[in-house]
Structure formats: structure tokens, C-alpha cells
């Protein structure tokens, strides 16, 4: 019994204290509202909200998703209701819960990102900002900010000038050298990093001779991507010294612990919510059980322990 | 909404590639009504996403829920191999369902859109509509299923692509041919059929509720995979998009662009 | 009956005629010898042999593989017996079969690749060369040739100077822009391209707090990578006009047809051989059945048909 | 080597996490002998690689093959849920197996390395070795299994980590304690045990055949995942590496570096 009380799952992430290291991956959990029948949001370390832009976005045509082996491809196209309603409705909703709030931000240009970040600086209930740089950069012919180190460095700097909350830059895995991207973001002032966003993939419907998602390509997520995500978290943890939120295919406590041992301070559960709405709770309980079994008193003991 | 491990009470082969399955899931039947659906999960760990299937019937006293489904791919094929006594994970009920506001109802079901019409017909009947006030127009490919169950409570009209049963053609052809009228059309079926009904109901100024399908991921409103285009800006999304899974699957025909 | 006779699965690949579009992925099929109890090698379009270098390589320490969701990670480290024994034993063995032979080549430096290619130019029984540029470039601190467009362009040029057989450059997926890599190889004179090689991944054994493969990182392969592979084949097919061998997670005829519709002329079966030793045969038969069902007389009708 | 869909004839729980399973697979038993293994495939499509398991016994007349296995992870756990009548995909027999060239044999099995010793003991017995000429030294964690089957044909000595059965210690301790001698040691078990045996046999100049384990992918010699370091350059690989799956799993102790 004594031993049990000694397990401390809390995490200090950029000065924000989380009761445990488990949050949700942006875009897979709405604002938490949709999962309230399954998950007591008070139990999560943090809720990470669906990407929000300064104005509403329509997103892509349907079909927006396709199932693939051990995962899915999505091309939602960052549909979102815009900042006004997000602040009024979603942030308000989350204020009733004793959990941290990470707001995921998207934009089509540096100016749009900065405007969104400025708006979020004025409101209460936002603990951290997560910047999704996998958005199409309209000025640069639709190339994502997240695959060019200098664009990433620049957008991080601009955001940091205005942000009141700590800034987490969310890295795209679709790059040759993830450590280079991590350094570019950290040099630009990023307080933390999260990774991985989805890996660009494609599915073809051979019977209809067409793309399975209307957008042709989409982002691969789910258990299939986990080995790539663990590798990148490890590489980044060994390249920079800011804290990391690890994600990509986490669907069990064992998966989450892999990311923590690779160097992540927190973990996000994404696609797993779709096939196990209780996934976050199972994972929190599983990490706790592992810590008890192994006599781990604090996550500091195992974070990045595999070198 | 709940996720439960339901026990299969009956699995029955109906016709062609169509099966009927009764599940014991009282937590879901307590809340379920017509037009809603459930999400079923495969046991195959490489196919992770839930399969949305409409509720075809419920037996509330015994906590039983019925689905009638086509083996469209590997997931539904696996469902068809389950036997009574086996278990299956289910979430539901999901969605808004049909509004039971007709005094003379025309139910149009096409193909695998027919099953949800059965619970709807029963609910209308329970609300007091007579056999004559519930016209059911069923469009089959070739062979029929569920027809006798409809006939107990409704007047049934049949069309088929092949002409092998009922009149040759689609549900609109049958509606015109039999001169079926009412103050509310309820429809479920493939998109081309729904488009034709949308046009028919607007031309004839008949209020119409249609049930839509789209590829789903979460099946519970969180991922924005399953949207339909709407004619007006939606309050929730702030754009001309609504989620079929939780804002639908039933919409008034004039609300959506197909 | 008439219809059946009209199905033509043959492929002309860089002037080499193959009886069907199915070969095996290098390193997953030995030289064919190991699979002869299961597969009649005469039925394959081609056999692609395990990577061979000019001298024997020891490869990496064990454990060399780990299983992951829908696939595996390998860090074999290109163990190979060297060119002499390969020519005497493996090439000789394959001469008894009525199938094409694609020899996969590796090296630690441009000079080693070129020497291997020169040796292979002198021997009979080699129809095509496939160059694995995911090998560590010892001169450049172990970075693979395959992730730097100019290194790729250069090595292609040097190889082409000496090669007597058509040269297939095998692309690494661990890059930001696969189309750029494809163009670099084609500009260097590549006659064809094959892709994808494995995606760098990692697995951590949380109970032992160690890497699951001794090399820390390894290459992810198997069904899990298929969406990434299809996407890259599609991008490359639309960027260059040389023929492509598509691979990555192919385990069924449907998978193979996805690659063909994305633009591949041939397909390789890799990891699937490990869990279904008959995979190649099933795939050949499945493609044929699909062609009959859909009334496709030649693969030209569907190659790259999804645009 | 064949891949066949074998039928499970018997599944039996032995002790702790250890199970015994008899499979009907005549194509494999026809060729199988001691020291070889089979590859078993899970039905879980997310776990694709075969699981190598040693052959513990065969009944050639009836085409039955026996394995005894520990539920080490999810794959073997799944095997343990199969019932007689169920099917499982198997390839085999794989590997070289033991050479039956002893006139006085010492068999050393540790933990889940014990099962293959049973078929070896039987084959030695069939070759004419008496009970006294087959010494079997078994090292258990705690509880025992298979002991009575060994006792029918061999002289059995037992050690256990806990000391709960036999002498406390490992198989070398038991060998020394009982002063067991022979002209050939056959061994299978965890790597630390094999290392100790390798040293023991070199110090005592006793020829020794040991069976090795390594992570496998193909299980049939093609992928080079499962190599062991060798003392000499290997003819096949041209380096100091041999494949455990097909060049082994049995090696002479002096051939390999552990
Ligand atoms: C709200 C809703 C209610 C439904 N009700 C029923 C029903 O009562 N009975 C019934 O038989 N089917 C119903 N469907 C369709 C059913 O969900 C799909 O047939 C099923 O998911 C296919 O799964 P699979 O694994 O067998 O096929 P897959 O191998 O996944 O795909 C096979 C085919 O099914 C189509 N498909 C797959 N998933 C969906 C999906 N989510 N929506 C539409 N088409 C899909 C694909 O386009 C493909 O052509 C409904 C769909 C929705 C969205
Ligand atoms: C030639 C050979 C013969 C074997 N004979 C037997 C036997 O007779 N009885 C028996 O119970 N086990 C035997 N094993 C070990 C058995 O193969 C593994 O326990 C099994 O593959 C684990 O699979 P899993 O899915 O249950 O575990 P996983 O979840 O895959 O892994 C669980 C644990 O098992 C270990 N493991 C996994 N695969 C292997 C492997 N291929 N070799 C060694 N360790 C592995 C892992 O390190 C891990 O700690 C043998 C292994 C080899 C190589
Ligand atoms: C349907 C869907 C929508 C997503 N939307 C967003 C988003 O709005 N912003 C973002 O940064 N990432 C988004 N992602 C990426 C996830 O947050 C996460 O990085 C990725 O899915 C990998 O984690 P997983 O494998 O656990 O899902 C989305 C992913 C999915 C599947
Ligand atoms: C065990 C193993 C060994 C491999 N060895 C080589 C090699 O020697 N040369 C090479 O170019 N690719 C090698 N590969 C990569 C494969 O040829 C192929 O590109 C990759 O595995 C993707 O295909 P798959 O998913 O069908 O396996 C190897 C892959 C595996 C799994
Ligand atoms: S399926 Fe996720 S929102 Fe409808
Ligand atoms: S497991 Fe592939 S060579 Fe032994």
C-alpha cells in the first residue's frame, strides 16, 4: 500500500504541471466533448484540441479517410470552426475540467499563425500552444512549413514574439533529417517539441481505380507508424534539450512507455481513440501499474533511459 | 453512448450476401431508436476502425438489437462468421435518428438502406399510424429480404433493378407507378437514389428525411471524417459541413447537398 | 476460355522481357535457394538477389530483427558472402531456372560499388543491376548515399559508366522529397528505379530497457509501410518517365495491383515471404485472376491508371 | 520443408506457464528428428512472423508432432488458447538436429530447453543406448515437467534455481554433484547455461552439441537474421557467422562464440 502511494506520474512540462504524462493527439479527440461518455476528462494530463485557425476552414472533400493495415489515412484538411467560436465554446467547455489545455494552431501563412497565437494570448484557459506546421504554406505553393528548416525556424521566431504561453512546435515526420528540424525549431525559440504528425501516404481502390481519399494523399497514423515515431523521438531527444511530447501509434501503456524511454516527457494518444474510446484511461492505468511493478517512483527515472 | 461487449443471440443468412444478426446489448437498446446506428469492431487487429451499421430492429424488453448487413468487405465478412454465443464490441446508439412527425408516411429503402426502415415503420406504427398510413417502397437488386416483416404493419411496394420482383426500376419509379403519396418521405439507400428522391421531394414539395452514409473513422463525432455538404453554414462547424455520424445520419433533404 | 488466353502478364522492363511483373525484394529471398521447397522459381518474373558487395560483409550484431505491428524492423547490416562466391554459387544456381535475375549491389564507397558493377559486367546470368544506395557511405560519416540528391546523382553516373546491364537505382524512403531523389537518379542515367527500401524505425524493449535490435535503429518493412510506398511510387511515376519496380508491404495481389495502378511496371514481394512462403505465387495467380475478371488484356491498360 | 495447416490433437497445460501440444502433420513428422524445430504462425494479422518452437516428440505412425512451449508473449499465449480440432499453420521441420553419435550421452536441458531433449533421448534409446547410457540433467526454475517421460528411458538428475526440486543450482552443479560422465554432451537452454556448458566441456574435453536460439524472421535460411558468431569463417556466409535456423540450431560447442 505504501509503495502505491509513492508512484508519482506527474510531469512538469515547460513549467506547466500535469497530473500524468498522457494527453490526446490533436484532431482525434475533438475538444474532449465527444469523448465525455467514455473518458472522465479530469483524469487526463492534458487535452489537446483539434487544430484551430483564425477563421473557419472547410476542409477537404469526402471521402476524407481510408482504413489501412494497422492504421488509417486521413485528409480532413484541417476543417475547423475558427477562433471565435473555439474560444467561446470549446475553451469554455474545457474550463469545467481539472486538466491542462493544449491548443493546436494552424494557418495558411505566418501572419495567420501569428494572429491566432495573439488571440490565444488574450484568453484564459490555454496552458500551452502546439503549432501544427504541417499546414500548407499558401505563399510557398502549398509546401508545408514543417519540411523546410529555415521556414520552420522563421515561423517559430515569429510566433514566439507574440505567444504568452509556452510554444510546442509539432514536427512533421516527412523529412530526411528530423534532428535538423528539431534544432531549427529550438533555435527559433521553441519551448518544446511534439512529434510525429502523420506520414504522407496513399491508398488506391483497385476496383474503382481511384484514390481512396478524395485528396489523393493523406496522413498515415495508427499502430503502423509507431516504429518511425519512436525512432524520431529518440533522435530528437538526443539532439535538443527541450521537452518532447511523443506520439504516433500509441495504443497501450507499453507503447507509451516506449516513447518515454526514448525520451518523451509526455505522450499523446491519437488514432487509438477511434478503435478504443477508453484508450487514454487504459494507458494511464497501465503506466501506473508498470511503475508499481517495477518500483519506479517518478517518470524521471525512466525518461530517456534507453541510450 | 456506450461501448459494450455484446453477445450474439442469432446470426441468420438472408439472401445473396445479406445477413441478419441479433445482439444482446440492453445498455444500447434502452436508448436506441430508428435511424440511429451502432459501431461494430472487428476482432482482426489489422482492421482497427469501427464499422457503422444501422439499427434494423430492437426488442427493448429483452435488450436485443438487430442489424441486417451486407458483406461488403473483410470486416463485414468476419461479422458473418460469428455464431450465437460469440461476442462483439459495439458502441452506440449513434446519431439523431428519424423524426416521427408524419401523419401519412412514405418510407423508401434501397438495397442495404432497407433495414433501418423496419424499425422506423414499427415506431410509426406504435405512434398510431395505420397500415394504410405507412407506405413502404423497397428497391431491391434482384432477390428480396425483410418483406414479410414490413407487411405486418405497412403497405409494401416493391421495385427491382432486374424486374424480377415488383416493378422494374427504382423506388421513385414505383412511387409514381403506384401513385404513392404522404406528408413525409423517409429514405435510406445509395447516393444516386437519395439524389433522385431529393429532387422528387423538392419538385413535389414533400418534406423528406434522408439518411446519409460516408466513410467514418471515430464514428462518434470527433474526427470530422464523415461530413456532408450543407446548404447553410452549420452552427457547430461554422462552415457548410455537418458530421453525418452525430449531426445525422438523418437530414432533411433540403439541408444537404449530395 | 478464349478470354483466358488473352491475358498477357508479361512486362518489358528496360528491354528485358519478364513473364510476369512479380519479383522478390532483395534480402528477403536469399538467392531463391532457400525458397525452392515452396516456390517454383520458374514462375517468377525475376529473382532479385540479396545485396552483394565486392568483399564479404559480416553484418550487424544480433538481435538483428524485431517484430512490430504489421511488419518488422531489420538491421541485418548487409551481411553477404562477397562477389566471388556469389558469382560461383548463387548466380550458377539461378542459371538452372527460366527466370530473370536482378542482382542487388551494395558498397561502402563509390569505388566499391563501381568495382562490384564491373565484376558483374563480366559474368553471364545477370539481367539487371539494382543498386542499394541505403548503404552507409564510409567517406561521408556513414550517411547513406540515398538521402542526398547530389551523392545519388554522382554514384549513378559513376555506375552507369561501367555497367553493361540496365541499372535500377533503389530509392530510400527516408527523404523529404522522393521525386527530387528520383530526378537526381534519372539525371545521372538510371534506366529504372525501384522503391521503397525500408523506413528507419526503432523498437524499445521496455522490460529490458534496451533497444530491440542491437543496431538501435533498423529498417521497417511489411504491410505497415504500404501506404507510404504507394504514395512514393505514385509521386515518382509522375515525376520521371523511367520504369519503376514498386515494393513495400506487398502481401496480396490487391496490394500489387495498387502499386501497378500507381505507376509501377513491376512489383517486389519482400517481408510477405516470411509469413507466407507462397506469397509470390499467390500474387501472380491473383493478378491473373483480376485481369481475367476485369477483362484486362495487358498490364499496360492499368499501369498508372489512377491519376 | 513444408508449410501445412496442422490440426491440433491435444492441448495440455503442464505447469506455471508451460503447455504441451500435439499436432497432426504427417508431412512434417516423416522427416522430423531431434534438435529440429517448426515455425508456427499466429492467427493475429498484426503479428506476422513465425514462432520457432523445438520438436519435443513425434509419433511417426500417426503423423503426430509434439511441442512443449512457454507462453513468453502474445503469440505463444494465443497458441495456448487453441483447442483440439483447431488448426494452425506450421512449416518444418527446420534445421540440422542433433548427431546421434554418442555411446554414453549426457543430455542437459534448462527451462524451455528441456522439451527437445525428450525426442533426443528417445532417438538415442532407439539407437540402442541403455537407460544407464543416457543421463538426463534437467534444470528447472521451480516446478518440474516431463520428468516421468524421461525416466522411462533415461537416468534423470534434477537441479532447480530455488532448490525446491533436485539439487539447488544449475545443470553443471548437478553434473558435478552426481559426477555424471559421458562421451557426448547434448544441451539446450538459456544462453548463460550454454556458456557455462561450453566452458565445462572444453575444460573437461567432452564433445558437446548445443542448440542455440536467436530472433528469427524467415525461419528458413533466407534473411540472415538469426546468425551466431562462429570461431571459423563459414563456407556459406564467407564470414564468421552461421544461420541458426538452417545451419543449426545445433552446433558443436567449439564451433560457436556465445
Ligand atoms: C451510418 C451508416 C449506416 C450503415 N448501415 C449499414 C447497414 O445497416 N447495413 C450494411 O450492410 N451496411 C451499412 N453501412 C455500410 C457499412 O458500414 C460498410 O459496408 C462497412 O463498413 C464495410 O466494412 P468492410 O470491412 O466489410 O468493408 P471494407 O473492406 O472496409 O470496404 C468494402 C467496401 O465498403 C465500403 N465502405 C467501407 N466502409 C464504409 C463506410 N463507413 N460507409 C460506407 N461505405 C463503406 C467501401 O467503400 C468499400 O467499397 C452503413 C454505413 C454508414 C456510414
Ligand atoms: C530454434 C528455437 C527453438 C525454440 N524452441 C522453443 C520451445 O521448444 N519452446 C518454447 O517455449 N520456446 C521456444 N523458443 C522460443 C520461442 O520461439 C519464443 O518464446 C516465441 O517466439 C515468443 O513468441 P511470443 O509471440 O509469445 O512472444 P513475443 O511477444 O514475440 O516476445 C516475448 C519474448 O520472447 C522472446 N522471443 C521472441 N521471439 C523469440 C525467438 N524467435 N527466439 C528467442 N526468443 C524469442 C523475446 O525476446 C521476448 O522477450 C525457441 C526459439 C528458437 C529460436
Ligand atoms: C483524423 C485526424 C485528424 C488530425 N488532425 C490534426 C490536427 O488538426 N492538427 C495536428 O497537429 N495534427 C492532427 N492529426 C495528427 C495527430 O495529432 C497525430 O500527430 C498523428 O495522428 C499520429 O498519432 P496517432 O498515430 O496516435 O494517431 C490528426 C490525425 C488524425 C488521424
Ligand atoms: C530482412 C531484410 C533484408 C533486406 N536486405 C536488403 C538488401 O540486401 N538490399 C536491399 O536493397 N534491400 C534490402 N531489404 C529491403 C527490401 O528489399 C524491401 O525494399 C523492403 O523490405 C520493403 O519491402 P517489403 O515491405 O515488402 O519487405 C531488406 C529487407 C528485409 C526485411
Ligand atoms: S466519423 Fe468521426 S466525426 Fe463522424
Ligand atoms: S531466420 Fe531467416 S535466416 Fe534464420
Residue of D nearest to B48 (CA): D46
Q: Please report residues of C whose CB lies closer than 8 A to that of A174.
A: 176
**Is A234 touching C (CB cutoff 8 A)?**
yes
**Is A290 touching C (CB cutoff 8 A)?**
yes
Question: Best residue in B45, B48, B77 to probe D by mutation, most D CBs within 10 Å?
Answer: B45
Counting one residue from chain A and one from chain B, the pairs whose CB atoms sit within 8 A come to: 102
Helix C149-162 / helix C178-187 crossing angle, nearest 10 deg: 30
Closest residue CA from atom 3 of ligand 6:
D221
User: H helices within chain D, ranges in order?
Assistant: 26-29, 74-80, 115-126, 147-151, 171-177, 191-203
pLDDT tens-place string over residues A142-170: 778 899 999 999 999 999 999 999 999 99
Rounded Cα distance, D157 and D130, in Å: 16
Residue D140 confidence (pLDDT): 94
Q: How far is the CA of B110 from the centre of ligand 1 (A)?
A: 15
Question: Best residue in C26, C50, C64, C89 to probe D by mutation, most D CBs within 10 Å?
Answer: C64
Partner residue facing A211 (CB), from C71, C220, C306: C306
CB atoms within 10 A of CB C183: 18
Find out whether the beta carbon of A170 lies less than 6 Å from any atom of ligand 3.
yes
CB atoms within 10 A of CB C84: 13
What SS3 state is found at D78?
helix
Of ligand 6's atoms, which has the minimum distance to the CA of residue D221?
Answer: 3
Q: Which chains touch B (3 or more CB pairs under 8 A)?
A: A, C, D
Find out whether the beta carbon of C226 lies less than 6 Å from any atom of ligand 4.
no
Prediction pTM value: 0.96
Cβ–Cβ under 8 Å, residues A20 and A10: yes
Which residues of C have a CB under 8 Å from any CB of B? Answer: 69-70, 223
Partner residue facing A220 (CB), from C204, C227, C302: C227
Closest residue CA from atom 11 of ligand 3:
A132
Residue C140 confidence (pLDDT): 75
Residue A1 confidence (pLDDT): 43
Question: Best residue in D44, D75, D77 to probe B by mutation, most B CBs within 10 Å?
Answer: D44
User: Which parts of chain B have pLDDT scores under 70?
Assistant: none
Closest residue CA from atom 21 of ligand 3:
A221
User: Which parts of chain C have pLDDT scores under 70?
Assistant: 1-5
User: Which parts of chain D have pLDDT scores under 70?
Assistant: none
| Interacting residues of A5 by C-beta distance below 8 A, sequence separation 6+ | none
Burial of B53 (0-12, 13-18, 19+ CB in 10 A): buried
User: Which parts of chain A have pLDDT scores under 50?
Assistant: 1-2
Cα separations (Å) of C177 from A129, A176, C94? 29, 8, 37
Which grid cell is A299? 517518470
Q: How far is the CA of A27 from the centre of ligand 3 (A)?
A: 5
Q: What share of chain C is helix, strand, coil (3-state, %, to 5)?
A: 35, 20, 40
pLDDT tens-place string over residues A187-238: 999 999 999 999 999 999 999 999 999 999 999 999 999 999 999 999 999 9
Residue A52 pairs in a beta bridge with A105
Question: D223 vs C58: CB contact, 8 Å cut-off?
Answer: no
CB atoms within 10 A of CB C77: 18
Partner residue facing C227 (CB), from A73, A227, A249: A73
For the residues of D173-200, what is the DSSP string, one character each? HHHHHTT---SEEEEES-HHHHHHHHHH
**Is A249 touching C (CB cutoff 8 A)?**
yes
Ligand number, closest to the Cα atom of D247? 6
Cα separations (Å) of A135 from A27, A66, A76, A80, D112? 13, 20, 12, 13, 53
Closest residue CA from atom 44 of ligand 1:
B215
Ligand number, closest to the Cα atom of B211? 1
Find out whether the beta carbon of C197 lies less than 6 Å from any atom of ligand 4.
yes
Nearest chain A Cα distance for residue B252, angstroms: 20
Rounded Cα distance, A278 and A162, in Å: 37
Burial of D67 (0-12, 13-18, 19+ CB in 10 A): buried
For the residues of D92-118, what is the DSSP string, one character each? EEES-------SSEEEEEEGGGSHHHH
**Is A14 touching C (CB cutoff 8 A)?**
no
Which grid cell is A27? 484532431
Q: What is the mean pLDDT of chain D?
A: 95
Rounded Cα distance, D91 and D23, in Å: 12
For the residues of C279-297, what is the DSSP string, one character each? HHHHHHHHHHHHHHHHT--
Rounded Cα distance, A132 and A57, in Å: 15
Closest residue CA from atom 32 of ligand 2:
D73
| Interacting residues of B232 by C-beta distance below 8 A, sequence separation 6+ | B240, B255
Q: DSSP character for A87? A: I
Find out whether the beta carbon of C249 lies less than 6 Å from any atom of ligand 4.
yes
Q: Which chains touch A (3 or more CB pairs under 8 A)?
A: B, C
Cβ–Cβ under 8 Å, residues B209 and B185: yes
Amino acid at each position: 500500500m505504501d509503495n502505491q502511494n509513492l508512484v508519482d506520474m506527474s510531469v512538469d512540462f515547460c513549467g506547466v504541471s500535469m497530473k500524468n504524462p498522457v494527453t490526446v493527439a490533436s484532431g482525434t479527440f475533438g475538444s474532449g466533448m465527444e469523448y465525455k461518455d467514455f473518458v472522465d476528462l479530469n483524469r487526463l494530463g492534458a487535452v489537446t484540441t483539434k487544430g484551430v485557425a483564425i477563421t473557419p476552414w472547410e476542409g477537404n472533400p469526402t471521402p476524407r479517410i481510408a482504413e489501412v493495415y494497422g492504421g488509417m489515412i486521413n485528409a480532413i484538411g484541417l476543417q475547423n470552426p475558427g477562433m471565435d467560436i473555439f474560444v467561446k465554446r470549446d475553451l469554455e467547455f474545457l474550463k469545467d475540467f481539472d486538466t491542462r489545455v493544449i491548443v493546436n494552431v494552424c494557418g495558411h501563412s505566418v501572419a495567420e499563425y501569428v494572429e491566432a497565437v495573439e488571440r490565444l494570448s488574450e484568453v484564459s484557459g490555454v496552458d500551452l500552444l502546439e503549432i501544427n506546421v504541417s499546414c500548407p504554406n499558401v505563399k510557398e505553393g502549398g509546401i508545408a512549413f514543417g519540411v523546410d528548416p529555415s521556414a520552420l525556424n522563421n515561423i517559430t521566431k515569429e510566433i514566439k514574439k507574440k505567444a504568452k504561453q509556452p510554444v510546442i512546435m509539432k514536427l512533421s515526420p516527412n523529412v530526411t533529417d528530423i534532428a535538423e528540424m528539431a534544432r531549427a525549431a529550438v533555435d527559433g525559440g521553441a519551448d518544446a517539441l511534439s512529434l510525429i504528425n502523420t506520414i504522407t501516404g496513399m491508398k488506391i481502390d483497385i476496383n474503382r481505380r481511384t484514390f481512396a481519399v478524395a485528396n489523393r494523399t493523406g496522413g498515415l497514423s495508427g499502430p503502423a507508424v509507431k516504429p518511425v515515431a519512436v525512432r524520431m523521438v529518440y533522435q530528437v531527444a538526443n539532439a535538443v534539450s527541450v521537452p518532447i511530447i511523443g506520439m504516433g501509434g500509441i495504443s497501450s501503456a507499453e507503447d507509451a512507455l516506449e516513447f518515454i524511454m526514448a525520451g518523451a516527457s509526455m505522450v499523446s494518444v491519437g488514432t487509438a481513440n477511434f478503435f478504443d474510446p477508453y484508450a487514454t484511461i487504459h494507458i494511464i492505468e497501465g503506466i501506473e501499474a508498470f511503475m508499481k511493478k517495477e518500483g519506479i517512483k517518478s517518470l524521471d527515472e525512466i525518461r530517456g533511459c534507453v541510450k | 453512448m456506450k461501448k459494450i461487449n455484446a453477445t450474439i443471440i442469432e446470426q441468420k443468412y438472408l439472401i445473396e450476401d445479406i445477413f441478419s444478426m441479433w445482439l444482446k446489448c440492453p445498455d444500447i437498446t434502452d436508448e436506441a431508436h430508428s435511424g440511429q446506428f451502432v459501431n461494430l469492431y472487428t476482432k482482426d487487429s489489422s482492421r482497427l476502425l469501427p464499422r457503422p451499421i444501422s439499427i434494423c430492429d430492437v426488442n427493448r424488453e429483452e435488450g436485443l438489437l438487430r442489424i441486417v448487413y451486407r458483406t461488403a468487405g473483410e470486416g463485414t465478412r468476419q461479422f458473418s462468421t460469428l455464431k450465437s454465443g460469440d461476442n462483439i464490441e459495439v458502441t452506440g446508439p449513434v446519431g439523431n435518428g428519424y423524426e416521427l412527425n408524419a401523419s401519412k408516411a412514405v418510407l423508401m429503402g434501397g438495397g442495404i438502406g432497407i433495414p433501418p426502415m423496419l424499425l422506423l415503420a414499427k415506431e410509426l406504427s406504435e405512434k398510431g399510424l395505420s397500415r394504410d398510413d405507412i407506405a413502404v417502397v423497397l428497391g431491391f437488386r434482384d432477390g428480396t429480404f425483410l418483406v414479410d416483416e414490413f407487411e405486418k404493419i405497412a403497405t409494401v411496394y416493391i421495385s427491382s433493378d432486374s424486374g424480377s420482383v415488383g416493378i422494374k426500376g427504382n423506388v421513385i419509379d414505383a412511387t409514381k407507378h403506384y401513385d404513392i403519396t404522404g406528408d413525409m418521405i423517409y429514405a435510406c439507400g445509395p447516393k444516386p437514389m437519395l439524389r433522385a428522391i431529393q429532387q422528387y421531394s423538392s419538385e413535389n414539395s414533400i418534406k423528406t428525411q434522408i439518411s446519409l452514409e460516408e466513410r467514418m473513422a471515430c464514428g462518434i463525432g470527433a474526427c470530422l471524417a464523415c461530413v456532408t455538404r450543407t446548404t447553410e453554414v452549420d452552427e457547430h462547424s461554422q462552415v457548410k459541413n455537418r458530421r453525418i455520424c452525430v449531426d445525422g445520419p438523418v437530414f432533411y433533404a433540403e439541408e444537404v447537398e449530395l
